[in-house]
Amino acid sequence: MIKLGIAENKRYFVSEGAPFFYLADTVWSAFTNIPLEEWNYYLDYRKSQGFNVLQINLLRQWDASGSDLNQEPFARCEDGTYDFYTLNEEYFARAEQMVEIAVGKGFVPALVLLWCNYIPDTWASRIREDKKMPLDAVEPYVRYAADRFSKYCPIYVVSGDTDFPSERANEYYRTALHVVKRHSPECLTTLHIQGRLAEVPDEFINDPDLDFYMYQSGHNSQFQPTAYTLAMDFSSKPVTRPVLNSEPCYEMMGYSRQVYGRFSRADVRKAAWQSLLSGAAAGVTYGAHGIWSWHKKGKRFGVTGEGFDSPYDWQTALKFEGAWDYGFAKWLFQMYGLTDLRPWDIVLKNTEEIRAAATASLSKVAIYVPVNTVLRLNADLGEYEFTLIDLEHHRFAAASLTVQEGITVIAMHDFESDVLLIGVKKIHFF
């Protein structure tokens, strides 16, 4: 069982004292939609790709795909709404069984306690008339969840997709955060927030019960630069914590607000690398359109609000190539020892799309170049040995560079896709 902690410098995760690269898959609807035989198949496949964290909604995901399973976390009232004071033991026993299986296969569960549709005043509550959870039901529910799941050392994601709209809503999250930390102080905590949101109330930024930052660059095609702008914002918060992009654009997801188009493998890879090299180097989360909602061909899908195009069947979505790219990113971080990368503003180009970062000691440099170009860098990198990595085909090549008057110039490469340049400072022996 993996027990996660936070590094001494508060910038990345550790497990048994060693750096831990958080590589999550988004499977919000697991507990309501996935039969056990499919769960085992899914876990084995993602494990083979290098994933080590699973982001799951502990309650029903409001925009899950239709399912033949009859799994609900609470008893029903006569009008069909949830009785939030009466938990369904059968549901949570099955959820625990799924968590136990996942942990046994080497995954860390990241369990969302309160998705925003259950909370008054949030953006989701304004477009849905669902009954909201009473505030006095939060503590017994969270305490129950902690008593049942904490033995598996999960991450507790206190909020889901929230916009912190009011003091009333914030009181729900404050209560849940403090209850779960009081009952399970060894488990890490975080907040999953609305896409493109940079502002988190100061009370949460300054709360010692919060362990790390998640942000969401999301699925709006107009705002994909938030993959790196939010990374920079959260990595410079007044309280330092590990940062990761917990919801970049999902592979083959339709653009939000029913805009025509879908995010490609290249799009999701770009979001990952721009996040990782801009201050969110603790890890990253992948998503496939058809996995997060666990969609089956012919089943219902579609909600008000963001409005995404139809998902793929889960069996097709599971095999999208982008998941291998995310596993490759984790492998590169581990192979080159890129733990604790920090943004380095050295790119001399009229674009922010190219991202550069270095380790604290400047012994290693990583540069993401989405479109081929002659690269000019405002640093003398002549003492570094550079490797050029084709991120689409996972090929490696030597990079050609020159240095003149303190400016490093790296020539055009021969690959057609985006690339990562990794420079390792040469060691001189005397």
Reported as half-sphere exposure (CB side, CA atoms, 13 A), residue 83 has a value of 9
CATH H-level, domain 4-336: superfamily: Glycosidases (3.20.20.80)
pLDDT of residue 303: 62
d(CA 33, CA 65): 8
Name the residue with tokens 């968590």.
99
DSSP H or E stretch at residue 243: strand 243-245
d(CA 151, CA 109): 11
Cβ–Cβ < 8 Å for 158, 190: yes
Identify the CATH number of the domain defined by range 344-425.
2.60.40
Domain ranges of the chain: 4-336, 344-425
Among candidate residues 198, 346, 342, the one with its CA nearest the CA of residue 277: 342
Structure-token pair, residue 222: 């107009």
pLDDT of residue 305: 45
Query: pLDDT by residue for the chain (430 residues), tens digit each?
Result: 999 999 999 999 999 999 999 999 999 999 999 999 999 999 999 999 999 999 999 999 999 999 999 999 999 999 999 999 999 999 999 999 999 999 999 999 999 999 999 999 999 988 877 899 999 999 999 999 999 999 999 999 999 999 999 999 999 999 999 999 999 999 999 999 999 999 999 999 999 999 999 999 999 999 999 999 999 999 999 999 999 999 999 999 999 988 999 999 999 999 999 999 999 999 999 999 999 999 999 999 976 445 789 999 999 999 999 999 999 999 999 999 999 999 999 999 999 999 999 999 999 999 999 999 999 999 999 999 999 999 999 999 999 899 999 999 999 999 999 999 999 999 865 5
28 — phi, psi (to 5°)?
A: -50, -35
d(CA 424, CA 358): 10
Q: In what order do the strands lie in the sheet with 22-26?
A: 189-190, 155-160, 108-115, 53-57, 22-26, 283-286, 243-245, 213-215
Q: Rounded to an integer, what is the distance from CA 182 to the centroid of its chain? A: 25
**DSSP-assigned letter for residue 314:** H
What are 251's strand-pairing partners? 288
Structure-token pair, residue 64: 């899950």
